[in-house]
C-alpha cells in the first residue's frame, strides 16, 4: 500500500510540474508577442518581470517538482503526465485571446485527461534508487541514446537554416529533443547527487555528475532559445504540440532500451502506449489555440495604431 501511495505522489508531482511549466509558457508568450518585430527582443524579454517570472516557474519551481517526481516514478512516465499542463496552456490562451473553447479543444482536453489517466494506470515506473548508473552497459546505452538525440537535433537545426518554410516546426522539434534530453539526464543526476554532496562519491560518479550538470544546463538553454526563436515566426500553428512529440515518444526508448524495463502486466503495455498516443493526438487538437496566441502580438499592434 505504501508503494502505491508513493507512486501516486510521484504522479501528482509530475502533473503539478507540467502545470507550472505551461503557466510559465503562457506568460513568456505574452511578453514575446509584445516585443515581436523589435530589435533585440530577447534582451527586452530578459528585463521584463513577467517573462522572468515565467522562466522561474519553468526552470526553478517546476523543475523542483519534476526532480521530486523522479525520485518516486523515474523518467519514463513524467513527460506524459506533465503534458496535462497543456490544458492550462489552452485555458490561459483562451483568456488572452478572449474567446471560448471550440469543440476540437474540448475533445482535446478530454483526450488529454484520458491519456494522462491511462499513463497513471500503466504503473511503468523506474526505480532510480535501485539502478546502478555506473554499470558499463547502462552508460553505453545512455551514450547511444543521448548521441542519437544530439545528432538528430543538429541535423534539424542545420535543415532549418536551408529551408525557412519549415523553420518554426524544425526549431520546435529541436527544442523538444533538448527537453527530452534533460528529462532523461535528471535520472542519473538524482541517483548520485546524495553521494556527491555528502563527499562519498567515487571519481566516476563525480565525472557523471559534472556531465549531467553540463547537459542539463546547455540543453535547457538551447531548448528555451530555439522555442523562443520559433515563437517569432508565424509559419507554424502547432509549435508547442509539435515540441511534445519527441518529448512523449522518447521516454518509451528510455524505459525499454536504456533501463531495460519490461512491464509485469500486458495491460501496462496497453495503458502506456495508448496513453502516449492519446496525449500526442490531444496535443495537436489543443495546438490550434496556439495559432491564435501567435496572432496576439499582431492584434495588439493594430489596436495601438488605431
Tens digit of each residue's pLDDT (9 = 90 or more) over 191-219: 899 889 888 889 999 999 999 999 999 99
The model's pTM = 0.75
Best CA proximity match to 73, nearest among 127, 118, 119, 117: 127
Residue by residue, pLDDT tens for the chain (306 residues) are 448 888 889 999 999 999 998 888 778 777 777 776 667 777 777 888 888 998 899 889 998 998 889 888 888 888 888 888 878 877 777 766 555 677 887 888 888 889 888 888 888 888 887 889 999 999 999 999 999 999 999 999 998 888 777 788 888 899 999 999 998 999 899 889 988 988 888 999 999 999 999 999 999 899 988 887 887 764 334 576 778 888 888 988 999 999 998 887 888 889 999 999 998 888 778 766 655 554 554 444 344 444
User: CA-CA distance, 254 to 69, in Å (whole number)?
Assistant: 16
Amino acid at each position: 500500500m505504501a508503494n502505491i501511495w508513493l507512486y501516486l505522489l510521484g504522479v501528482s508531482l509530475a502533473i503539478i510540474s507540467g502545470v507550472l511549466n505551461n503557466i510559465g509558457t503562457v506568460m513568456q508568450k505574452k511578453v514575446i508577442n509584445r516585443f515581436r518585430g523589435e530589435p533585440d527582443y530577447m534582451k527586452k524579454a530578459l528585463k521584463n518581470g513577467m517573462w522572468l517570472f515565467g522562466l522561474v516557474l519553468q526552470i526553478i519551481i517546476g523543475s523542483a517538482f519534476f526532480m521530486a517526481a523522479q525520485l518516486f516514478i523515474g523518467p519514463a512516465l513524467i513527460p506524459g503526465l506533465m503534458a496535462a499542463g497543456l490544458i492550462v496552456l489552452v485555458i490561459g490562451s483562451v483568456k488572452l485571446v478572449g474567446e471560448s473553447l471550440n469543440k476540437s479543444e474540448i475533445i482535446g482536453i478530454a483526450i488529454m485527461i484520458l491519456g494522462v489517466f491511462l499513463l497513471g494506470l500503466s504503473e511503468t515506473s523506474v526505480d532510480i534508487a535501485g539502478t546502478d548508473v555506473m554499470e558499463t552497459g547502462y552508460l553505453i546505452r545512455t551514450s547511444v541514446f543521448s548521441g542519437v538525440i544530439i545528432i538528430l537535433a543538429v541535423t534539424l537545426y542545420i535543415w532549418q537554416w536551408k529551408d525557412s518554410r519549415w523553420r518554426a516546426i524544425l526549431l520546435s522539434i529541436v527544442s523538444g529533443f533538448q527537453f527530452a534530453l534533460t528529462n532523461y539526464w535528471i535520472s542519473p543526476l538524482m541517483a548520485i547527487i546524495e553521494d556527491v554532496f555528502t563527499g562519498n562519491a567515487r571519481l566516476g560518479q563525480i565525472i557523471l555528475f559534472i556531465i549531467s550538470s553540463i547537459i542539463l544546463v546547455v540543453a535547457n538553454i538551447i531548448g528555451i532559445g530555439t522555442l523562443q526563436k520559433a515563437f517569432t515566426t508565424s509559419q507554424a500553428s502547432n509549435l508547442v504540440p509539435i515540441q511534445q512529440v519527441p518529448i512523449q515518444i522518447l521516454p518509451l526508448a528510455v524505459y525499454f532500451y536504456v533501463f531495460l524495463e519490461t512491464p509485469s502486466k500486458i495491460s501496462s503495455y496497453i495503458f502506456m502506449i495508448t496513453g502516449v498516443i492519446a496525449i500526442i493526438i490531444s496535443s495537436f487538437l489543443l495546438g490550434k489555440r496556439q495559432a491564435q496566441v501567435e496572432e496576439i502580438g499582431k492584434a495588439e499592434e493594430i489596436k495601438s495604431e488605431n
